[in-house]
């Protein structure tokens, strides 16, 4: 999205180039994921391209980036509204025009979707965005009678409710040294009342369009970093035996393909192994890195890293979490 001052229309060449290149970004992500998975070895990458289906990669991409579109939309909408209410500069930027043209139902749908797919620790940030957008919308429409209840009372009330709900989790996060989770729970309710009004005119452009420009530059790299850590092949432990069918080794890695005679495995060192099926004694599905939580902090029994969608949809514990074979040990 172009975020600079727009003296022309949305048909400017730079904007058209952006729209043209945008569909290529997911393809670049998929190719780089295979390149990273192959250990930057061309032959290994060609093997993966041959056997890894596009649907597998696309599924991993969609599942891993579910929370990104509403985050981009809500943040851009907030910055556009803040720029609009912070002063009239005589011309409208694309960021401001995008904020004006975004329908309210789409903003509301983005908030509801985020409530489902964002991790619990990001809910205070989502409520901050929602309160700020509501307050700025009221100011933009000139509803002076609603400024105090929407721009002051609403964010303060929401913040108090957040602190009441997350108070045990905040104490738990502080006690365990989980600084990131503590800040994510404490900071947004404090900031929300200050984001429902205009910025000083002298810093409005830098505080809105500067932040949007920085976000447009950083977001592709952040998405790339997120997707490069997403598993696209199943993690397994293969118990291998000798001619007497006695277990001699546990091979850990990702299954690339299986045929009548061989199991192709990409091991933890990014080396390809062709394992004869007659040596295969047992196979165990192991949890990947993405299934292992980084924090055990909970709020009323729910992990802060879980999303509401995880609670609503039926789920099971990752298979192999306590299996010694997933640690490379022979049973």
Does 15 share its domain with 74? yes
Does 73 share its domain with 213? yes
Query: What pTM value is reported for the model?
Result: 0.79
Rounded Cα–Cα distance for residues 222 and 126 (Å): 19
Computed from CA positions of residues 302, 303, 308, 309, in that sequence, does the dihedral angle turn out positive or negative? negative
The tens digit of pLDDT for each residue in 5-38 reads: 444 444 455 556 666 666 677 777 778 888 888 8
Does 65 share its domain with 189? no
Assess if residue 168 is contained within a domain. Answer: yes
The tens digit of pLDDT for each residue in 183-202 reads: 999 999 999 999 998 888 88
Q: What angle do CA 134, 139, 145 make, to 5 degrees?
A: 95
Final residue of a domain: which of 183, 198, 213? 198
Q: Are 93 and 209 in contact (CB under 8 A)?
A: yes
Q: Are 252 and 266 in contact (CB under 8 A)?
A: no
Does 304 share its domain with 259? yes
Does 213 share its domain with 90? yes
Does 169 share its domain with 213? no
Does 84 share its domain with 140? no
Which range marks the domain in which residue 186 is found? 119-198
Does 59 share its domain with 10? yes
Final residue of a domain: which of 185, 214, 232? 232
Does 92 share its domain with 124? no
The residues, any chain, with a CB within 8 Å of residue 294's CB and separated by 6 or more, are 305
Assess if residue 15 is contained within a domain. Answer: yes
Does 176 share its domain with 314? no
Does 123 share its domain with 183? yes
254 closest CA partner among 216, 290, 218: 290
The residues, any chain, with a CB within 8 Å of residue 140's CB and separated by 6 or more, are 81, 84, 85
Q: Which range is least confidently modeled, 20-24, 34-38, 230-234, 274-278?
A: 20-24
Q: Are 102 and 77 in contact (CB under 8 A)?
A: yes
Does 189 share its domain with 258? no
In total, how many domains does the chain have? Answer: 3
Assess if residue 110 is contained within a domain. Answer: no
């Amino acid at each position: 999205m172009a975020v600079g001052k727009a003296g022309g229309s949305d048909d400017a060449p730079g904007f058209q180039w952006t729209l043209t290149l945008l569909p290529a970004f997911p393809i670049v992500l998929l190719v780089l994921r295979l390149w990273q998975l192959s250990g930057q070895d061309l032959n290994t990458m060609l093997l993966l391209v041959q056997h890894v289906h596009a649907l597998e990669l696309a599924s991993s991409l969609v599942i891993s980036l579910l929370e990104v579109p509403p985050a981009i939309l809500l943040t851009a909408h907030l910055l556009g509204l803040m720029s609009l209410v912070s002063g009239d500069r005589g011309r409208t930027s694309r960021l401001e025009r995008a904020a004006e043209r975004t329908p309210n139902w789409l903003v509301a749908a983005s908030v509801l979707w985020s409530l489902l797919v964002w991790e619990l620790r990001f809910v205070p940030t989502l409520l901050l965005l929602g309160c700020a957008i509501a307050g700025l919308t009221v100011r933009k429409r000139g509803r002076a009678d609603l400024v105090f209840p929407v721009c002051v009372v609403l964010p303060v009330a929401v913040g108090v409710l957040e602190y009441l709900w997350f108070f045990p989790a905040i104490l738990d996060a502080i006690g365990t040294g989980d600084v990131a989770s503590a800040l994510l729970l404490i900071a947004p309710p404090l900031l929300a009342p200050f984001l429902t009004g205009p910025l000083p005119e002298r810093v409005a452009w830098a505080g809105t369009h500067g932040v949007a420009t920085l976000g447009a530059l950083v977001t592709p790299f952040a998405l790339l970093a997120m997707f490069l850590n997403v598993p696209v092949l199943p993690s397994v432990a293969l118990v291998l035996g000798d001619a007497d069918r006695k277990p001699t080794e546990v091979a850990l890695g990702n299954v690339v393909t299986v045929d009548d005679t061989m199991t192709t495995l990409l091991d933890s060192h990014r080396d390809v192994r062709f394992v004869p099926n007659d040596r295969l004694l047992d196979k165990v599905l192991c949890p990947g890195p993405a299934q292992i939580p980084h924090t055990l902090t909970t709020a009323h029994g729910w992990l802060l890293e879980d999303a509401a969608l995880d609670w609503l949809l039926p789920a099971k514990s990752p298979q192999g979490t306590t299996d010694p074979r997933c640690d490379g040990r022979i049973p």
